[in-house]
Chains A and B, each alone.
Chain A
Amino acid sequence: MSVGVAAIERAGLDRLAFSRVLGWLGVGLGVLAFWLALPPVTARSPVVPLIVGGIGVAAGLWALRAGAGRLAWGAIAAGVLGIGLGWLATRSGVAELDQVWIWSALIAATLRAATPLTFAALGGIFSERAGVVNIGLEGMLLMGAFFGFLGADKLGSWEYGIVCGVVAGASLALVHAFVSIQLRADQIISGFAVNFLAAGITGYMFIEVYTDQGTPGDVPIIPSISVPWIKDMSFLGPAIGDMNVLIWVALLFVLLTHVTLFRTWIGLRLRSVGEHPRAADTVGISVYAVRYVAVVLSGALAGLGGVYLSNGITHSFNENLSAGRGFIALAAVIFGRWRPFGAFVACLIFGFSEALALRLPGAYGENAAWTTLFRALPYVVTLVVVAGVVGRSTPPAADGRPYVKQ
């Protein structure tokens, strides 16, 4: 193998770049090993995923020798996972596979599940890029979900619902901002506290307003947009032809966040406050003001995600509707290395896993308890990512540290 490496080095390819190419090749082969066992290919022999995944593992091992380190381990993990999942798929019946793996429906469900996560994750990026850890995303999502629903119900239009949800999320964020920026409390304690606060407030008001009857079914919901020429296409039509307004908004916001953070003076100031607040202060940037704006913005975004959750997906509200999505969004921020597009990819992966977990019981029956384990998969993947297998995650330098003015 070292001969091959030497040859490629002679060919002018940097050794590290080569090992990275190998590593990504291994990751790709791992995914391919699983994909081949699924419809429409539906390879029925376990040898197929074994060989493809095996080549992926080999590529990972080679990359490891060539010095790719963490990425190489990621490739090996992807290869092993591809073999395992592919083997499981070959053991399952074709009818069940065909029922679950309708790709266009899966893509649509993935985008639906990923949207609340994306809004909250973008919020988390703003907050953490400015140096404030936001564990309270979960609570802000919940506030948005309840007050978005309440607003749409009592004021009679989904637009008012969005306004109410965004304001509610931002208000909770303001509490977090005041306690963690102004009073310099531990940001994790403060974030955790606002989660409790949101659970208490929304639970209390939910019962106060809707008693134990549950929410009414005639609340104005957020509409979808039919795209004329995509709608009638065979594959893209059911996948993205008829998507909710807020899914489009989420896609737009990912782009906007990227541009704002990395292409404007606003983003430069925000990031400088998160990396080196003292230096930012010295050149005349108000650290507190920037952090306040960032945290409140993160609450507004998480609130918007919450509105989509209640008014766009479930069309109802229940206590603790957010069910841990704020924490997944937090994981997506880290997975995506504090970058909007990275976090969005992470949200898609998590959303895909949720979509899959929702479809599995339909095909395999309620008694298949193992389908529940698929819901744990995003958390395992995040744990692996946090462990640094797929590239080291380095947070903004001043993330989590209160700033004391001098």
Chain B
Amino acid sequence: MTDGPTVEQPDGAPEPESLSAAERLARWQQAGGVVAPVITAVLAFLVGGLVVLATGSNPLVVYKGIWNGAGLEWFYRVGSHEVGLPLTDATVWFPWDTGSAAAENLQQTLLLTSTLILTGLAVAFAFRCGLFNIGGQGQYFVGAYFAIWIGSSFAGMNSFVHIVFVMVVAALAGAAWAGIAGILKATVGAHEVISTIMLNWIAYYIGLYLFGQGGPLQNDLQPFSPTSNAVVEGARLPVFWGDPLLQGLHVGLFVALAALVSFWVIINRTTLGYEVRAVGFNPEAARYGGISVARNYFLAMAIAGVFAGLAGAVDMLGWRFSIGFSDIQSSTIGFVGIAVALLGRNTALGVGLAALVFGALVNGTASRNIPPEAFEIPEQAGNLSLTIQALVLLFIGADLVILYLWAKTGQKLHVGRSSPL
């Protein structure tokens, strides 16, 4: 192998000597970019299975229950049913079953995925600028509050105008909320982790005030119920798959997908994205290169807030329609967004796939979806889901090591010194 040209190893690994350092680095990162998240997720589920085993349940039964609860069995269930297109009762031939419990579960998984894409992007965009946006939850809340307020007012408004109006206001509200942390970071250097944690709690208590008993936005008809008014019919997002009364899949999914595309375009194809990434790589070098670091800190947080605010609007107009005390107290969707962004390595495609994984995990472990043979008490599945999320985060944190081991044992590439990692 000394004098031959590029000789491929049986396992596909290229001959190290035949590649330049830059090529090796690129290949290593590319491979690591796909392999590390997959290893991370698989490891987390394996260890999660061990936890289940330790508590005396059968992990295979549990994971099958989660798989089915997430509606993933839908993909190999052949049947024929009508597709519930809005405003029509047309039946379309379809190779898969669309009206079963599996379809309903899948619809709900995709509902969660839509929201998680948006809260994941909120974390990922700030990350690309070197900022850790823990405030996705608060920005989601603020977006949701405005969505509820405007969505439950203006009953006679044109449906399309109303929905767009709500979306724009919720996005701006999220941007303003995140922008507070951005401005503090840009002007006085306040650490965004601390300020966004504080903003989360402020948004939380503002919500309890607004929709609590006697609060200004509390339900007009039920003065003793700590919940908001319902979003009017005209402002609800059309459902394109499934029963609108049973939380069918609404067009918010396309909002989320459009956000994914916008994220990719902004980051990879615009001056703003270039500057954001430059600041994220090295703020000092970016400043030296004539980029305003402060301006990009603010813009990155504000855009992150747009995504999270939209998540709130999509949730409220799509399937929740009202927000109450218990919804606010139990909401963690913004925090799951952190795990989504990290598992997706802050790229558009990665966030999309990670949102699907976590959407399935969260929905599959919802107590109503768990079969009785998996857990004696269905709430246990939600705690298992939390544990798996924690493990994913821990393994992501340690993925430098996974990459290192992988590179050392599999590839024998010695790029440690030149790697920007």
Contacts and interface: CB of A to CB of B under 8 A. Distances in A.
Interface of A: 135, 175, 179-180, 183-186, 188-190, 192-197, 199-201, 203-204, 207-208, 211-212, 324, 327, 330-331, 334, 366-370, 372-373, 375-376, 379-380, 382-383, 386-388, 395
A135 B193 contact: yes
B212 interface: yes
A366 B213 contact: yes
Interface in B382-400: 382-391, 393-394, 396-398, 400
Contact of B387 (A189, A204, A208, A367): A204
B419 to A, nearest CB: 13
Nearest to B205: A376
Nearest to B192: A386
B202 A383 contact: yes
Nearest to A194: B390
Contacts of B50: none
B397 A380 contact: no
B213 A386 contact: no
A197 B218 contact: no
24 contacts: A175-B394, A183-B401, A189-B342, A189-B397, A192-B338, A193-B393, A196-B389, A197-B391, A199-B386, A200-B386, A203-B379, A204-B383, A204-B387, A208-B55, A324-B201, A331-B197, A369-B212, A375-B208, A379-B198, A379-B202, A380-B198, A383-B180, A383-B198, A386-B191
A207 B397 contact: no
Contacts of B338: 192
B398 A382 contact: no
A205 to B, nearest CB: 9
Given A185-B397, A189-B342, A334 B218 contact: no
Contact of A193 (B206, B214, B384, B397): B397
Given A183-B397, A204-B383, A193 B390 contact: yes
B218 A369 contact: yes
B122 interface: no
Interface of B is mostly: helix
B190 interface: yes
A199 B383 CA distance: 7
- Considering the complex of A and B, which 10 residue pairs feature the smallest CB-CB distances, nearest first? A185-B397, A193-B393, A200-B387, A200-B386, A196-B390, A197-B390, A376-B205, A369-B215, A367-B214, A203-B383
Contacts of B189: 388
A316 B394 CA distance: 30
Contacts of A201: 383, 387
A375 B190 CA distance: 22
B159 to A, nearest CB: 32
Contacts of B197: 327, 330-331
Interface of B: 55, 132, 134, 180, 184, 188-191, 193-195, 197-199, 201-202, 204-206, 208-210, 212-216, 218, 335, 338-339, 342, 377, 379-380, 382-391, 393-394, 396-398, 400-401
Contacts of B391: 193, 197
Nearest to A135: B193
B378 to A, nearest CB: 10
A203 to B, nearest CB: 4
A334 B205 contact: no
Contacts of B216: 369
A373 B209 CA distance: 6
B335 to A, nearest CB: 8
Given A179-B397, A186-B397, A200 B390 contact: yes
Contacts, number: 151
Nearest to B388: A200
Nearest to A175: B394
Nearest to A402: B400
Given A369-B214, A386-B195, A196 B393 contact: yes
B198 A204 contact: no
Given A175-B394, A372-B209, A388 B55 contact: no
A338 B71 CA distance: 49
Contact of A376 (B188, B202, B215): B202
A192 B386 contact: no
Given A204-B387, A372-B212, A386-B195, A190 B201 contact: no
B393 A388 contact: no
Nearest to A382: B198
Nearest to A190: B397
Contacts of A331: 194, 197-198
Given A180-B397, A185-B398, A207 B380 contact: yes
B142 to A, nearest CB: 13
Nearest to B197: A327
A372 B202 CA distance: 11
A184 B401 CA distance: 9
A212 B379 CA distance: 10
A330 B193 CA distance: 11
Contacts of B339: 196
Nearest to A138: B197
B148 to A, nearest CB: 16
Contacts of B210: 369
Contacts of A382: 194, 198
A199 B382 CA distance: 10
A1 B205 CA distance: 43
B194 A330 contact: yes
Given A188-B132, A199-B390, 18 more contacts: A183-B400, A190-B393, A192-B335, A201-B383, A203-B386, A204-B383, A208-B380, A369-B214, A369-B218, A372-B215, A373-B205, A375-B208, A376-B202, A379-B199, A383-B180, A387-B195, A388-B189, A395-B191
Among B188, B379, B383, the one with the most A-chain Cβ atoms within 10 Å of its Cβ is B383
A373 B342 contact: no
A330 B184 CA distance: 18
A306 to B, nearest CB: 18
B394 A367 contact: no
B387 A179 contact: no
Nearest to B378: A207
A212 B378 CA distance: 11
A343 B191 CA distance: 18
Contact of B134 (A192, A194, A207): A192
A196 B201 contact: no
A347 to B, nearest CB: 16
Contacts of B215: 369, 372
B393 A192 contact: yes
A387 B212 contact: no
A174 B144 CA distance: 38
